[in-house]
Amino acid sequence: MRKLQRKRPMAMDKSSSKYRTYFWYVAMVSFLLWLVLLYLFNSSVKTVHNHERLFRQENVIDLPVHVSQQNHESDQAVVSNVDNITVPVTGNGSSQEVQISEDAKVVSDLVEELEKEDVENVKKRGDTAWSRRSTRSRGRHRESRRTRSSDKRMVRPNNDDENNVDNSDENHQSLDKEPNFFEPRNDVTSKKERVDDNNVVESKQKTSNNNTSKVNSRISAKRNRPKVVVRPRVTRRNDPCRGKYVYMHDVPSLFNEELLKNCWTLSRWTDMCELTSNFGLGPPLPNMEGVSGWFATNQFTLEVIFHNRMKQYKCLTKDSSLASAVYVPYYPGLDLMRFLWGPFPSMRDAAALDLMKWLRERQEWKRMDGRDHFMVAGRTTWDFMRTPGNESDWGNRLMILPEIRNMTMLLIESSPWNYHGFAVPYPTYFHPSTNAEILQWQNRMRRIKRRYLFSFVGAPRPNLGDSIRSEIMDQCKASRRKCKLLECVSGSQKCYKPDQIMKFFLSSTFCLQPPGDSYTRRSTFDSILAGCIPVFFHPGSAYAQYIWHLPKDIGKYSVFIPGKNVKEGKASIERVLSRIPREKVVAMREEVIKLIPRLMYFNPSGKRGDVGRFEDAFDVAVEGVLERVEGLRKRIEEGNEEIFDFPERFSWKYNVFGNVEKHEWDSYFDRR
Ligand SMILES: *[C@@H]1O[C@H](CO)[C@@H](O)[C@H](O)[C@H]1NC(C)=O
Ligand SMILES: *[C@@H]1O[C@H](CO)[C@@H](O)[C@H](O)[C@H]1NC(C)=O
Ligand SMILES: *[C@@H]1O[C@H](CO)[C@@H](O)[C@H](O)[C@H]1NC(C)=O
Ligand SMILES: *[C@@H]1O[C@H](CO)[C@@H](O)[C@H](O)[C@H]1NC(C)=O
Ligand SMILES: *[C@@H]1O[C@H](CO)[C@@H](O)[C@H](O)[C@H]1NC(C)=O
Ligand SMILES: *[C@@H]1O[C@H](CO)[C@@H](O)[C@H](O)[C@H]1NC(C)=O
């Protein structure tokens, strides 16, 4: 009895002391948590205030890029910028060696500075056209978001692209930035503004060029570097990978894996965890027409798919001295997605700037100033072209960073006016693991009965003045039994189901692909996959984009009807299409079906080794990059002062035709 009594208080004592420790433990943890939160808050505030300064402690160091950028914005002359950077550096040389390396730094800073100026000028020229549009579009976007919030679709703004019917809402906005051909050209004030702007740019450029050449000669006097490119080490002659080796940078996981690990932070509306599963293919779908290999793939996950495909690339090397090209496995679109609607616009650039800093310190970068590097983004160019100095503008600045401008950037839609952007196909729903699946599918597509002459899936764009979508929909409705229309009004679930969409394309001979918010549509690739012959209304929708993937002879696999003729009611789509002879249609369809493998992405979880496999969109893209890099290498070796010998705004033309001579498509890409 006594024992028991004694025991009880002891037990209580014990447990209460246990609770006390526990309490202290909890208190400690909450205190630490508070500290961490405080730190995070502090640094995020810092980030916001410091604009492009990065959020991590180490990044608070001055980056020359940013310095120059800021100077830039204050519109200083190039020379004074240069001097400002030069002074602190040279002022501190103690030993000869330090001096030399610092000289190199000065030089690279100078060059960068000049590059920047060029970028800015180019950008400015382009932006004048955009700027008048953006005000309007921004208003429109806000409006559209408001309307949306009242309907259920608002919950998932990505619906459009998910269904691949169209570009995403996000694209929607970004497209608005496009120097648009839809825009009516009777806006007198904006025209005047534009002209003024151009003059300013022109005169500014003249002086800067003048100055530039002076600085340039200063640079070459300073550095006595011969124009020798460090070529990749040559392997034996019968090496199948000769000239095809690719080195993949081991970038910090912050830039890729961790984005996936924290997939729930990527989007407020869409379950990106589900969509980035399965190597980026998304959740599997049931067989279609008895063929396996289908997934509910979202276009934004191209970055993940590409990365995983690269991991099994047959000529991937761990030895960078062998590599002809260097892949940077960063997920720029997923990264940007986190902050597109967030309150801290500067965060949209943070990781990208961070990565650029990291890249420039690599020995691989120094070989060719990054000219042999490439990267992939599952978004359109317009999401990465924010006007410098305007944080309320859409997107981030990735595509105008000097490092990126030295690289090759692969995107689902490129800008026709950029040197460094190249379009690769949108991912579709089909990701076979074997050749057999492809062959099976191709055979199905040859035999399937197509009830309709043509079809259109999509939504009208009443807000875009020059959009031809409403005309197309009217024409489709008018030719009742020949055309099938799937109007994507909000709430219609049909547009959002992969199998419904595919069935739709499977039942048509021709599929209309008018521009939407931007030139390109994912629907183009889904319809080609279904063996449906694409009908384009603008050369920027495919011909001037997917130059590596689509045949040069556009008439072999597609029909082109100038959008202007449709808009003005001069072209009857039904008449144009029904006049094409039957044999020609069959030949075109066969061409389209043959294109299927190179426009889709193989399942990255398939067996390593591509022996005997069809070339998929990934293979074709890597080949395109290798070829481009080799061309740049040659030009640098030849000692060309200018790496590109054509004006940047003609990039589309040069890429398509190999020259910049006058062409009938010029008016489609006119920026004035
Ligand atoms: C460089 O440009 C500035 C104007 O931007 C001009 O005042 C200056 O004279 C130029 N310098 C040289 C050396 O041409
Ligand atoms: C360069 O330094 C001078 C003197 O410190 C300053 O007045 C000028 O604004 C600086 N220029 C730039 C482009 O920052
Ligand atoms: C110059 O170098 C010395 C040490 O070498 C350093 O203490 C000083 O801060 C440096 N000054 C500048 C302006 O970088
Ligand atoms: C460069 O500037 C100098 C004066 O600084 C001027 O005499 C010369 O004509 C300019 N050259 C060009 C090509 O603008
Ligand atoms: C910045 O961008 C916003 C949105 O596009 C636009 O409304 C505003 O006029 C721009 N500001 C400047 C200074 O360009
Ligand atoms: C880009 O390439 C040029 C040479 O073509 C080089 O001078 C410049 O430093 C490079 N830019 C960066 C950021 O590395």
Is pLDDT at 395 greater than 50 in this prediction? yes
DSSP at 231: P
- The single-letter code of the amino acid at 257 is E
The string of DSSP letters for 289-327 reads TTB--BB---GGGHHHHHHHHHHT-TTEES-GGG-SEEE
pLDDT at position 327, please?
A: 98
Ligand 1 atom closest to 210 (CA): 14
| Residue 51: other Cβ atoms inside 10 A | 14
pLDDT at position 627, please?
A: 96
Q: Maximum distance among all alpha carbons in the chain?
A: 108
DSSP at 56: S
Q: How confident is the model at residue 466 (pLDDT cuts 50, 70, 90)?
A: confident
Is pLDDT at 610 greater than 90 in this prediction? no
- Pairing outcome for strands 421-423 and 452-458: unpaired
Is pLDDT at 285 greater than 70 in this prediction? yes
For residues 572-577, average pLDDT: 95
- Pairing outcome for strands 325-327 and 508-513: unpaired
Is pLDDT at 304 greater than 90 in this prediction? yes
Q: Name the residue with higher pLDDT: 642 or 148.
A: 642
Is pLDDT at 483 greater than 90 in this prediction? yes
Handedness of CA 231, 237, 241, 243 (dihedral sign): positive
Q: How far is it, in rounded angstroms, from Cα 53 to Cα 62? A: 8
Cα of 115 from ligand 6 centre, angstroms: 8
Cα of 86 from ligand 3 centre, angstroms: 14
Q: How far is it, in rounded angstroms, from Cα 530 to Cα 449? A: 12
Q: Burial, 555: exposed, middle or buried (Cβ in 10 Å; 0-12, 13-18, 19+)?
A: exposed
Q: Whose alpha carbon is nearest atom 14 of ligand 2?
A: 71
Residue 403 CB less than 6 A away from ligand 6 = yes
Residue 210 CB less than 6 A away from ligand 4 = yes
pLDDT at position 542, please?
A: 96
pLDDT at position 109, please?
A: 60
The pTM (predicted TM-score) of the whole model is 0.66
Cα of 478 from ligand 2 centre, angstroms: 66
For residues 524-529, average pLDDT: 96
- Pairing outcome for strands 508-513 and 452-458: parallel
Phi-psi region of 458 (alpha: psi -120 to 50; beta: other; left: phi over 0): left
Q: Whose alpha carbon is nearest atom 1 of ligand 4?
A: 210
Cα of 139 from ligand 5 centre, angstroms: 11
Residue 492 CB less than 6 A away from ligand 3 = no
Q: Are 177 and 382 within 8 A, CB to CB?
A: yes
Q: How far is CA 365 from CA 61, 109, 320, 327, 556, in A?
A: 21, 15, 11, 11, 41
Q: Find the ligand nearest to 406 CA.
A: 6
Cα of 580 from ligand 1 centre, angstroms: 61
pLDDT at position 267, please?
A: 87
Total number of residues shown for the chain: 672
All residues at 6 or more sequence positions from 436 whose CB lies less than 8 Å from its CB, including other chains: none
Q: How far is it, in rounded angstroms, from Cα 222 to Cα 665? A: 45
Q: Whose alpha carbon is nearest atom 2 of ligand 6?
A: 369
Residue 80 CB less than 6 A away from ligand 2 = yes
Handedness of CA 214, 219, 220, 222 (dihedral sign): positive
Please tell me the least confidently modeled range out of 83-87, 144-148, 160-164. 83-87
pLDDT cut 90: percent of the chain above it: 49
Is pLDDT at 127 greater than 50 in this prediction? no
Q: Which of 84, 86, 92 to mutate to test the pocket of ligand 3 (most atoms within 8 A of CB)?
A: 92
**Pick from 383, 519, 507, 518: which is nearest to 457 by CA?**
507
Handedness of CA 248, 252, 256, 260 (dihedral sign): positive
pLDDT at position 545, please?
A: 96
Task: Kindly state the tokens that stand for 458.
Answer: 């999509």
Q: Whose alpha carbon is nearest atom 9 of ligand 4?
A: 210
Q: Which of 398, 406, 408 to mutate to test the pocket of ligand 6 (most atoms within 8 A of CB)?
A: 406
Residue 160 CB less than 6 A away from ligand 5 = no
Give me the residues paired with residue 535 across strands.
512, 559
Residue 90 CB less than 6 A away from ligand 3 = no
pLDDT tens digits, one per residue of 401-458:
999 999 999 999 999 999 999 999 999 999 999 888 999 999 999 999 999 999 999 9
Residue with tokens 């810092």: 46
Q: Whose alpha carbon is nearest atom 10 of ligand 5?
A: 390
Residue 216 CB less than 6 A away from ligand 1 = no
Residue 113 CB less than 6 A away from ligand 6 = no
Q: How confident is the model at residue 52 (pLDDT cuts 50, 70, 90)?
A: very low
Give me the residues paired with residue 316 across strands.
246
Q: Find the ligand nearest to 197 CA.
A: 5
Task: Kindly state the tokens that stand for 88.
Answer: 């602190």
Cα of 213 from ligand 6 centre, angstroms: 16
Q: Name the residue with higher pLDDT: 50 or 261.
A: 261
Q: Name the residue with higher pLDDT: 149 or 276.
A: 276
Residue 214 CB less than 6 A away from ligand 1 = yes
Q: Are 508 and 454 within 8 A, CB to CB?
A: yes
Ligand 1 atom closest to 77 (CA): 5
Cα of 80 from ligand 2 centre, angstroms: 7
Residue with tokens 């961490």: 36
| Residue 587: other Cβ atoms inside 10 A | 13
Q: How far is CA 669 from CA 18, 564, 662, in A?
A: 75, 14, 12
Q: Name the residue with higher pLDDT: 209 or 600.
A: 600
DSSP at 455: E
Helix (H) or strand (E) run with residue 410 in it: strand 408-413
All residues at 6 or more sequence positions from 541 whose CB lies less than 8 Å from its CB, including other chains: 513, 514, 515, 519, 520, 521, 524
Is pLDDT at 67 greater than 80 in this prediction? no
Q: How far is it, in rounded angstroms, from Cα 400 to Cα 670? A: 21
Q: Are 626 and 515 within 8 A, CB to CB?
A: no
Q: Find the ligand nearest to 91 CA.
A: 3
Q: How far is CA 377 from CA 300, 362, 522, in A?
A: 8, 22, 15
Cα of 200 from ligand 1 centre, angstroms: 15
Cα of 406 from ligand 6 centre, angstroms: 6
Q: Whose alpha carbon is nearest atom 12 of ligand 1?
A: 211
Q: How far is it, in rounded angstroms, from Cα 266 to Cα 578? A: 46
Q: Whose alpha carbon is nearest atom 1 of ligand 1?
A: 211
Give me the residues paired with residue 375 across strands.
409
Q: Are 412 and 299 within 8 A, CB to CB?
A: yes
Q: How far is it, in rounded angstroms, from Cα 251 to Cα 236? A: 30
As a whole number, the mean pLDDT across the chain is: 76
Is pLDDT at 537 greater than 90 in this prediction? yes
pLDDT at position 391, please?
A: 79
| Residue 303: other Cβ atoms inside 10 A | 25
pLDDT at position 16, please?
A: 65
Q: Whose alpha carbon is nearest atom 4 of ligand 5?
A: 393
Q: Are 538 and 668 within 8 A, CB to CB?
A: yes
Q: Burial, 110: exposed, middle or buried (Cβ in 10 Å; 0-12, 13-18, 19+)?
A: buried
Residue 112 CB less than 6 A away from ligand 6 = yes
Q: Are 565 and 571 within 8 A, CB to CB?
A: yes
Is pLDDT at 149 greater than 50 in this prediction? no
Q: How confident is the model at residue 20 (pLDDT cuts 50, 70, 90)?
A: confident
Ligand 2 atom closest to 81 (CA): 13
Q: How far is it, in rounded angstroms, from Cα 190 to Cα 132? A: 6
Residue 68 CB less than 6 A away from ligand 2 = no
Q: Name the residue with higher pLDDT: 541 or 479.
A: 541
Ligand 1 atom closest to 207 (CA): 2
pLDDT at position 150, please?
A: 35
| Residue 495: other Cβ atoms inside 10 A | 24
Residue 214 CB less than 6 A away from ligand 4 = no
pLDDT at position 275, please?
A: 93
Question: Degrees (nearest 5) of the Cα angle 370, 374, 378?
Answer: 145
pLDDT at position 390, please?
A: 81
Is pLDDT at 584 greater than 80 in this prediction? yes
Q: How far is it, in rounded angstroms, from Cα 170 to Cα 157? A: 8
Q: How far is it, in rounded angstroms, from Cα 414 to Cα 590? A: 28
Is pLDDT at 87 greater than 60 in this prediction? no
All residues at 6 or more sequence positions from 11 whose CB lies less than 8 Å from its CB, including other chains: none
Please tell me the least confidently modeled range out of 82-86, 392-396, 448-452. 82-86
Q: Find the ligand nearest to 84 CA.
A: 2
Cα of 636 from ligand 6 centre, angstroms: 12
Q: Whose alpha carbon is nearest atom 7 of ligand 4?
A: 210
Task: Kindly state the tokens that stand for 557.
Answer: 């696999």
pLDDT at position 118, please?
A: 57
pLDDT at position 225, please?
A: 52
Task: Kindly state the tokens that stand for 355.
Answer: 């990565």
For residues 63-81, average pLDDT: 34
Residue 71 CB less than 6 A away from ligand 2 = yes
Q: How confident is the model at residue 209 (pLDDT cuts 50, 70, 90)?
A: low
Q: Which of 393, 394, 396 to mutate to test the pocket of ligand 5 (most atoms within 8 A of CB)?
A: 393
Q: Are 222 and 121 within 8 A, CB to CB?
A: no
CATH number of 449-599: 3.40.50.2000
